Structure 1
């Protein structure tokens, strides 16, 4: 197996100051497909190696004294480099979940058993949304598509707007990179991860599984409120949230 390094397409460093005056640095990286690994055995070939239609996004945040305290990973599908239809590209992503799990899950949710886009995108039972609160499937027709894989923020800097700053940096930098038709960014609420071992600590303190389950249920609404707070709306009638941006 031979391995080549991904190409750094863009790097930007921006400053962020929270309400209490603490300063942070946010580093944004955009690379060609992050796993540009070529295998000697064809049966193990990476389906994304060498493709310029998929790029990896990484955001890292540091305190003013260079202490790492949070990061974000994502992917960006570049429509201008597509050689096939969106459905065909999504089908190839769906078969490679080991590489980009959220992107693969999005593709799996979006396609039916025949590999065609669903008319209804993964219905969520009991969901009632007004049209103003929902992003249509039509938004995917010409736009570049970004998918958030993970946001993780250290407990020591939570509740200081760091997560919001990461997402805003992500949106601003992707907007500069995308096609004139704009872009759509998708995320599931669950991709926000808090550092620490809350459940393990609760078990160590003798809390019951019922108490832990109640805590997790309480916390489940927090990520949804976060995405809505940074301008994301429900994507179609689904568990996903989306942001539609233009490049004008």
Structure 2
């Protein structure tokens, strides 16, 4: 009979960091092992990411906690973005087993884009899908976090229809599916589209609030003014809510 493999705490945490997009570099792993082997009940390690728009910089402080039984857990991380204007934008992201924003999704939120999540709707007390983005117009919470602006399912954000309306061109069918997934994660996506009877290579960002794509040239200059999809009820158009980060689930 096969014996159950002994749980490897270090390997588990390394895989978690890799899965969440914090990398798998030698320094990161050495800092992790140093923290695990230290006598401190809590420890932090720092890392950076280059998956940002040109002129921006991002760094993360990963916060770990040890249990009395010897377990080590990544509880949360602090994400900080320095933009090209040297302005600091930061947020604390909780980490749990089921639902956690990845490092790239955190950057996308800090850069002002939206991410599709599974969301607990306080009105219906049900799990729903929604697009969320930071509300930079509201003051931060006591924990130093932004409130989220949410666009629920009945707001009418259907990415596949938005992509069709934008006349994007895909060399292979699977490229369309990959593009939709990337747009819903809040990424800036390389695309091809028709404009003035020409095929243009550029970039696209999903804009759930206006239910359209923002199209740019390769230098990120805006080149379209798409109108929102029609047919949305007036009441649904304003179905938005600001809730604290604890209500967010992935």
Bin of the TM-score, shorter chain as denominator length? under 0.3
TM-score by length of 2: 0.25
Name the structure with the higher strand share.
2
Between 1 and 2, higher relative CO (CA 8 Å, sep ≥ 6) is seen in 1
TM-score by length of 1: 0.26
